[in-house]
Amino acid sequence: MKRVVLISCAAKKSACSAPAEKLYQSTLFTKSLAFAKTLKPDAIFILSAKHHLLNLNTRVEPYNVTLNKFTKQQIKEWSQIVLNQLRDANFDLQNDEFTILAGKSYYQDLIGAGKIEKYTLPYKDCKGIGYILKFLTDKLKE
């Protein structure tokens, strides 16, 4: 069994090409990544609206795409590509444990029967970005 963390991308990006973990510049993303690293998973990936599943060291050009502007069908298609990428990378969607640091639009079609089955959603009960940032700040102090 492997442990995997999936982090959503962010709108705020550096102005030039960078490794994915350096491209996204928002406080939420940087704290999410720091928290993900404290979990000592086997892998951390970024859920990118444009690029689907990104390795932290994949070099990426700045872009302006968000799942918030996708239709439900486009999100389903995006999610299927992400699931296929995880399978292609030899992750077991039924038995590996996934921590998803993302909003509902990113995870809703990734989880459930026949998809990612063992998962935690640390942000699920947080009512807005302020609560998520407080949660992360508290976790990073532990």
113: pLDDT strictly greater than 90:
no
Backbone angles phi, psi at 17, to 5 degrees: -55, 140
Residue type, position 111, single letter:
I
Mean pLDDT of the chain: 95
Tokens of 54: 């990104």
Q: What is the pLDDT of residue 135?
A: 92
pLDDT tens-place string over residues 64-109: 998 989 999 999 999 999 999 999 999 999 999 999 999 999 999 9
53: pLDDT strictly greater than 90:
yes
Q: What is the pLDDT of residue 125?
A: 85
Average of per-residue pLDDT across 112-123: 93
7: pLDDT strictly greater than 90:
yes
Average of per-residue pLDDT across 50-64: 95
Average of per-residue pLDDT across 7-28: 94
142: pLDDT strictly greater than 90:
no
Beta strand segments in the chain, E = 3-8, 18-19, 43-48, 52-55, 59-60, 97-101, 118-120
Higher pLDDT, 80 or 126: 80
Tokens of 90: 């030899």
Q: Taking the model in full, what pTM does it have?
A: 0.95
Average of per-residue pLDDT across 7-25: 94
Query: From CA 137, how far away is CA 140, in angstroms rounded?
Result: 5
Q: What is the pLDDT of residue 79?
A: 96
Q: What is the pLDDT of residue 56?
A: 97
